[in-house]
Amino acid sequence: MRLRNSSFQGLLCLALLLPAAQGCTRRPADLPALGRLETFAFNPASSLEERITVMPPALLEHYRDWDKRPDYGSYKPSAADKALLLEYLRLLPPVYERVFKARCAGIYFVSGLMGNGVTTWVIGPEDKVYFNITFNPAVLKAGLSETLTQRERSCFIPRAGWDVRVDAGTRYKGLLYALFHEGTHGLDYAAGVSPFCDDTMPKYYWPGKPVSGSYFYKAWSDYSVPLKRSDYHGRDKITFYGLGGGPKIDITEAKYVYEGLKKSPFMSLYGSKSWAEDLAELATFAILTGKLGQPYKILIVYPDSRITLEPLRGEAGARAAEALSYLDKVK
């Protein structure tokens, strides 16, 4: 989920925003076409491979309109692309594939997409929440460390002699990060792990009792508002991929931003933007470093020195283990 995904969904469901903002729990009288499962011709008996397909034209037009990117194109995944995605999906805990089979309406690729991926919700029979995932096909070719480095660099206004890099090993493609992260959002939408995954989804569809209980309120006071003790210098200026008017932080300030991150409970800058992103980053990097045995290090380079940050050595490490325990509870 890009940090602006909820705004994208807000455009899709504009008529629903006011009731949701007012805390209304009435069932919405109607949903727009792209918020209804039947729009996507979902067949629960279809294989996941069959659901990895070309994006529906109406959904592609929404992405083009919202990002003001008429150049967005629908990418047709090859057999090799599908095989890689399914291979990576099976590196995740079994609950992911189980939920994907039951609730994933479609998996698409959009050429030129700003960011690595987007997950959006749709409502199906019995008011159950389903989801679609869209990836940038660049993650099929770029290495994992390259993909994460590009994401991190997009936070900062560049300067000669200064840099930020991420070491996540050389074994996997960027698709691994995109799938783990977006897949966790999908799990959250469908199973209600966090209090709610998207602050524009009508409250009626929020989980009555999140799987994680009060877990997120130990770091957050609301969806995108951290507790004072969890906040840090520059967090409110963090943007990615040029979205939100960014980048807003000069890279010469990166040291102070990462010093703040190190003392915070968050796994990454990205994870400190909302509890939905928090969950996705905690799960992703816990699995990457734990089960897959890969590194996760952030290197901040200055003209005359460099420092390395390993978020899992801090509070984020303990929080990640607890977050994974809640995923195991998803039925």
Share of residues in the chain with pLDDT > 90 (%): 89
**What range does the domain containing 11 cover?**
5-327
State the distance between the two ends of the chain, measured CA to CA, in whole angstroms: 23
Cα distance between residue 134 and residue 51, in whole Å:
12
pLDDT mean across residues, the chain: 93
User: What angle, rounded to 10 degrees, do the helices at 174-191 and 144-153 form?
Assistant: 70
| CB atoms near residue 161 (< 10 Å) | 11
3-state secondary structure of 137: helix
* pLDDT tens per residue across span 138-154: 999 999 999 999 999 99
pLDDT in tens, 49-61: 999 999 999 999 9
Give the span between the Cα atoms of 103 and 123, in whole angstroms: 10
Q: Check pLDDT > 70 for residue 164.
A: yes
Report d(CA 245, CA 59) in Å as an integer: 24
- How large is the average pLDDT for residues 254-269? 97
Q: pLDDT digit string (tens) for 46-89?
A: 999 999 999 999 999 999 998 999 999 999 999 999 999 999 99
Q: What is the pLDDT of residues 279-317, one digit of tens each?
A: 999 999 999 999 999 999 999 999 999 999 999 999 999
Alpha helix segments (H runs only) across the chain: 5-12, 14-21, 48-51, 57-67, 79-89, 94-103, 144-153, 174-191, 254-263, 275-289, 315-327
How many domains does one find in the chain? Answer: 1
User: How wide is the angle at C-alpha 121 spanned by C-alphas 120 and 122, nearest 5°?
Assistant: 130
pLDDT band at 25 (very low <50, low <70, confident <90, very high): confident
pLDDT at 280: 98
